[in-house]
Amino acid sequence: MDMGGVVLAGRYDMRGGRSSLRYTFCRAMLDPPLGLGLNVSRNAIGAEANLRTGCIAFDSTFAFNAQNVPQAQKLFMSPVGDWFASAAQSGWKLSATDDFVEVILGGDYFSQHPEKHPEQLAAALDTVVAGGQQLLAARQNIQGRYL
């Protein structure tokens, strides 16, 4: 049975940054990759998105670009756009590409460190895995309707 893709793994990697700030990257790897040339990142405050999906909650929170713009727009006009916006409103620094969904913890002076709050790391991993599952399910629905 073809499941339309799977989330291979949720993993984390801790790195140091400027001024001894630490970052923890949590990623869910997508297999197979989406194949859209996708890059989704949080909008800078007050920035206008260059490409729009039609999902107001997503467009006001994220910037995206893709090689296959029409398919990427369809992907985020589905419930995936609302899911990403909701996750971002919950405070997650969320991004995505064809290959993974990522949450970054830390990186500022006010952030909590996962080693002091292990439940935060578990929640971040759950979030990226859920995001990956959302993307893969939406892709399968779109391909089923448009192929």
Question: For 23-36, what is each residue's pLDDT tens digit?
Answer: 778 888 998 899 99
Answer whether residue 2 is part of any domain: no
pLDDT for 147 beyond 50: no
Mean local confidence (pLDDT), 108-130: 75
Tokens 């080693």 belong to: 115
What is the domain extent for residue 39? 7-146
Longest Cα separation, the chain = 50
Answer whether residue 55 is part of any domain: yes
Gyration radius from the chain CA atoms: 15
**Which residue from 56, 51, 83 is spatially nearest to 69, judged by alpha carbons?**
51
CA angle, 100 then 70 then 28, to 5°: 10
Length of the chain: 147
Domain count, the chain: 1
Element (H, E) at 99: none
Is 138 or 143 the better-scoring residue by pLDDT?
138
Averaged confidence pLDDT in the chain: 79
| Per-residue pLDDT reduced to its tens digit, 43-96 | 865 545 577 888 888 998 999 899 999 999 999 988 999 999 999 998 888 999
Answer whether residue 142 is part of any domain: yes
Answer whether residue 1 is part of any domain: no
The percent of residues above 70 in pLDDT, for the chain, comes to 70
Measured from the Cβ of residue 95, the count of other Cβ atoms closer than 10 Å reads: 23
Cβ within 8 Å of residue 143, ≥6 positions away? 4
Mean local confidence (pLDDT), 14-26: 66
Answer whether residue 54 is part of any domain: yes
Answer whether residue 82 is part of any domain: yes
Element (H, E) at 106: strand 100-106
List the beta bridge partners of residue 98.
none
